[in-house]
Amino acid sequence: MGRKWENIKMKKAQTDGAAAKVNSKYGIEIYVAAKQGGSIDPEANSNLKFVIERAKQAQVPKHVIERALEKVSGSGDETFIAGRYEGFGPNGSLIIVDTLTSNVNRTATNVRTEFNKNGGTYGAAGSVSYLFDETGVIVFEGNDADSMLETLLDAEVDVRDAEQQDDQIVVYTEPNALHKAIEVLRQNGVSTFSTTEISMLPQAEMTLDGDDLATFEKLIDVLESDEDVQTVHHNVTL
């Protein structure tokens, strides 16, 4: 599928800005996973365990994770709602914005404004997402992607592909097969993952240059800086 996941991670770390922004995003996601799963014990709440693992991959400090869990045990009862917004950047580039917010009206207004004031066009629901595939993505160190693909297939994991990217192996699965794939890889000696996530992968990528690229990067930066935005997906090679 061709995406350079280590490059994407480095770029995301830059555009997410300060570590405080990343910590805030994961703090909310941990809080929501714990509330929805009915337990702050990761061993009793598989979705919470998954989110905490992703937070650790993003180098979120232990105290941030603990504070989010303490908030669940406290008297607060804040409700967060997941949302998805779609739109276009320069030259027909495609953008999907996933949010987690306690104020849907505020978020919808902000995202629309961020698109329209930064060289983009706010789109209707479904105008972009049909050109992406929801996909489980796992990245870890290794040098034999073909062997790992065979291992996963032998274990009857619904895996789409595995490819070698430098010294990293990238595995693509059906969304509902991500957790099973992670467990099979652990059983076969993989102990550390740099990425384990559900992502929206574009069916075709495009490149931008010059003013279009500058406008696109600014638009993505503005969207990712929004406190309610969790993830921005797009089809531009950066």
| Nearest one of 81, 105, 85 to 95, comparing CA atoms | 85
| Nearest one of 233, 235, 232 to 224, comparing CA atoms | 232
pLDDT, one tens digit per residue, over 22-49 is 888 899 999 999 988 888 998 899 889 9
Report the relative pairing of strands 121-123 and 168-173 from DSSP bridges.
unpaired
User: What domains can be seen in the chain, in order of their start residue?
Assistant: 5-73 (1.10.10), 81-130+204-234 (3.30.70.980), 132-202 (3.30.70.980)
CB 64 within 8 Å of CB 22:
no
pTM (2 d.p.): 0.85
Q: Report the alpha-carbon distance of residue 51 to residue 197 in Å, rounded.
A: 9
Average of pLDDT values for 160-164?
94
pLDDT, one tens digit per residue, over 75-134 is 567 789 999 999 999 999 999 999 999 999 999 999 999 999 999 999 999 999 999 999
Q: Report the alpha-carbon distance of residue 94 to residue 90 in Å, rounded.
A: 9
Q: Is 58 helix (H, G, I), strand (E, B) or coil?
A: coil
